[in-house]
Chains A and B, each alone.
Chain A
Amino acid sequence: MKNFFKLLNFELNRFSKLYFVLLSSIGIIQIIITVLKARAYLTRANNAVLKGGMTQHEFIEMYSKFSMIDVIHSILFAGTLAIGIAAILFYIFFIWYRDWFAKNTFVYRLLTLPTSRMNLFFTKVITIMMSVLGLVTFQLMMLNIEKTIVKWIIPKVYREDLRIVDMVSASEYLPIILPQGIAEFFIAYGLGLGFVVIVFTAILFERSFRLKGIIFGLLYAFISITIFILPITIQLLMYENLYLYPMELLFVQAVTWAVIVAASLLVSRYLLKNKVTV
């Protein structure tokens, strides 16, 4: 267990600088977007009311009050989230390949550590999941900061104050990373975990059989995803209304997920133990 935590800490430390730069960039860009959006609204309001002869009420009737939704719905704000997600998707591959392509084939040292090779696999999975959850939590923190910035810039009369929960549900994409219930949260991140495990297994195929491994890996990922979506696909093809009730379907999907993840872990264990070459 101690070795496992050492490895986990090691993996997180390796990513920490890049991660810090990523979060800082997202944070700074979002603050700039918030300030620009708020100032643009205030300028328009001032022009309309002070120079254009409109009353505050007329302006609000025409343009509605400013809220964090105006910030969240901007394409640039969505872009910052896309950057974060893209970076972590990239790191899912980089977390393995950096070990092979780093100086002095670092993976050789990792694979010869006096601990189970699967610990290496698990620590990388947890690192990715913690990075994702860290990014989500950071986004929550940023929403609070941005909300405060809006309060500083926009006078109360022009402002609609929203709770973080309202901001999330008003967004098109934030509910994907922050579902509206704790059960939905575990389902979403359970799916994410399954995805990471499958991609890692595909990477290990490539690392084990090189060029042929790319085909094996892609085939493995395709088969896993196909099996996972099979229960719901069959029902949609066969019935207008789902044959299984929602909770039954959820149970079947959960079992399918567990089988796929368990199979991936077993295959990964086999590959790491017997096939992976340095």
Chain B
Amino acid sequence: MRKYWKTIALSVFIVIGISMFYINVNTVTKEFPRFNFKIIEGNEEAVDKLVINGDLYNGMTNFEQFRVNSTGTTYLRDEPFSKRIIGYYQDIYGEDLQKEYRTFMRGKSTDPAKFYETDEILAYAETPYSFWSYDTYEFEIDILNKKTKKTVSFSTPIPDRANYWYVAPYGVYVDENEISIITLNEQVNEDVIENTSVHVYTYNIDTEQLVGEEVIDSLNYSSSEDGYNDIQVMAIDENIFISQQKVNYIETEDDFAYEKVNTEKIIHYNVNTHTKEEFTLPEKQEIGMPITIIGDELFLASINDNKLEIISLNLIEGEINSQKEIEVSNSFLSLYDLYQAKVKDGKYYFIPSSEDFNETTMITVVDLESLTVDYLGEIEPVGSSAIDEEVEMYFSYPELRK
């Protein structure tokens, strides 16, 4: 036995050393802060399906991803290997689609803008990159019949692709045997994006042929010292809303700059009837950006004087129906907070990212039809999980489970 001592010593050294390290790895998140949703007022069920993504920065280089929901906090490193294998939290919408339609979802992106779903079908349209050219030249179209499980798939060249620098899908809609793809087509001049136009390409699913192409709107991307122009596309079933916005740089008294958005033009396009309508916007009223449509009401959100403002615009009468200003206790609200907010089942989930990690992140859920606050709460630290001075935590985009 004595002559084997080196082998035994090395084996014991390795087993103990590596085991101790991985025991520490597995328990490391016990020292990380944990959070819960704390209700201030309203209906607690409103946040049952809400998941808020967050990032923890420990010192200069350590970075951890986590999620907070109504049951508590989970860190990515504590998830099963099968979930953390891709190295980040996959978006919930994509994860659900992959679970439910495993075969259909193979090789597909999970961006919700590229899907159209009804009880009968799941349609997908994408402009995939070609490995050999690093550019997109084709539409890849796939339609799954949920009942028969049959799939129709075809690829077709993007019409007049050479005229555009970039073509990106922003929405998909299927009406019987026609699929429409809403895209933003960008043109450049001397390496600067100069112009963008919203196109609707319609293909016959049976013949796989282009049956229609319409340019709904275009925008000059010129920018000035005080701001820039932007375009937003919101595709909800057959309705496409295009809003042209002017984003202005606003400087506060303490030299803090932020962006303020004002919608200058809203166009409604109906894919079924091919009708286009431009709304006359109320004068001297900053109405914000479209967030959803319920019946004949278009809802828009904006941030004014660090308050969230929601407006409902009647599409038939072209008038503001009602509006609501909601106090949010965050010290600073940005345009980005509006972009990352979610709408589901007529409720607007507004969770602004805190600028200061010591600031409490507020959760506001607004019932759009009644324009009332359905839930008001905050993300509160649990127990003794104090955040030390080296740790910074940021709550970013919210998601909603099915």
The interface of chain A, by Cβ under 8 A from chain B, is 5, 8-9, 12-13, 16, 64, 67, 69, 130, 133-134, 136-138, 140-141, 160, 162-166, 168-170, 178, 180-185, 236-247, 250
Give the nearest-CB partner of A143 in chain B: B21
Give the nearest-CB partner of A238 in chain B: B131
> Is the Cβ of B18 less than 8 Å from the Cβ of A136?
yes
Contacts A/B (CB < 8 Å), 29 sampled: A5-B7, A9-B7, A12-B6, A12-B10, A64-B60, A130-B14, A140-B17, A162-B59, A165-B25, A166-B58, A166-B59, A168-B21, A170-B59, A170-B60, A180-B25, A180-B77, A181-B81, A182-B26, A185-B18, A185-B22, A237-B131, A239-B128, A240-B107, A240-B129, A240-B131, A244-B106, A245-B106, A246-B86, A250-B85
Question: Which of B7, B24, B60, B77 meets A164, CB within 8 Å?
Answer: B24
B contact residues around A8 at 8 Å (CB): 7
B contact residues around A241 at 8 Å (CB): 107-109
In the complex, the 9 A-B pairs of residues with the closest C-beta atoms, listed nearest first:
A137-B17, A170-B61, A183-B81, A239-B107, A243-B107, A246-B85, A240-B128, A133-B14, A9-B7
CB contacts under 8 Å to A, within B81-121, are 81-82, 84-86, 98, 102, 106-109
Give the nearest-CB partner of A242 in chain B: B107
- What is the CA–CA distance of A10 and B224 in the complex, to the nearest angstrom? 77
> Is the Cβ of A247 less than 8 Å from the Cβ of B21?
no
Answer whether A164 and B21 are a contact pair too, CB < 8 Å, given A169-B62, A241-B109, A247-B85: yes
CB of B14, distance to nearest CB on chain A (Å): 5
A contact residues around B11 at 8 Å (CB): 130
- What is the CA–CA distance of A101 and B61 in the complex, to the nearest angstrom? 48
Assess whether B211 is interfacial by the CB under 8 Å rule: no
Assess whether B4 is interfacial by the CB under 8 Å rule: yes
Report how many residues on chain B are interfacial, defined by Cβ distance under 8 Å: 39
- What is the CA–CA distance of A250 and B85 in the complex, to the nearest angstrom? 9
Give the nearest-CB partner of A237 in chain B: B131
Assess whether B3 is interfacial by the CB under 8 Å rule: yes
Assess whether B382 is interfacial by the CB under 8 Å rule: no
A contact residues around B85 at 8 Å (CB): 246-247, 250
CB of A262, distance to nearest CB on chain B (Å): 24
Question: Which of A16, A134, A181, A247 meets B14, CB within 8 Å?
Answer: A134
Is chain B's interface secondary structure helix, strand, loop, or mixed overall? helix
> Is the Cβ of A181 less than 8 Å from the Cβ of B77?
yes
CB of B159, distance to nearest CB on chain A (Å): 21
Give the nearest-CB partner of A249 in chain B: B85
Assess whether B164 is interfacial by the CB under 8 Å rule: no
Give the nearest-CB partner of B130 in chain A: A240
Give the nearest-CB partner of A13 in chain B: B6
Encode contact with A along B66-89: 1 for CB under 8 Å, 0 otherwise.
000000000001000110111000
- What is the CA–CA distance of A28 and B128 in the complex, to the nearest angstrom? 54
Answer whether A165 and B28 are a contact pair too, CB < 8 Å, given A140-B21, A241-B109: yes
Assess whether B390 is interfacial by the CB under 8 Å rule: yes
A contact residues around B61 at 8 Å (CB): 69, 169-170
Answer whether A165 and B24 are a contact pair too, CB < 8 Å, given A69-B60, A137-B14, A243-B106: yes
Assess whether B13 is interfacial by the CB under 8 Å rule: yes
- What is the CA–CA distance of A166 and B60 in the complex, to the nearest angstrom? 11
Encode contact with A along B370-402: 1 for CB under 8 Å, 0 otherwise.
000000000000000000001000000000000
CB contacts under 8 Å to A, within B110-163, are 126, 128-129, 131
Besides the known contacts A5-B7, A245-B106, 17 further A-B residue pairs in the complex with CB atoms under 8 A apart: A5-B4, A9-B3, A13-B6, A130-B11, A138-B17, A140-B18, A163-B24, A163-B28, A164-B24, A165-B28, A170-B62, A180-B25, A182-B25, A183-B81, A237-B131, A240-B131, A241-B108
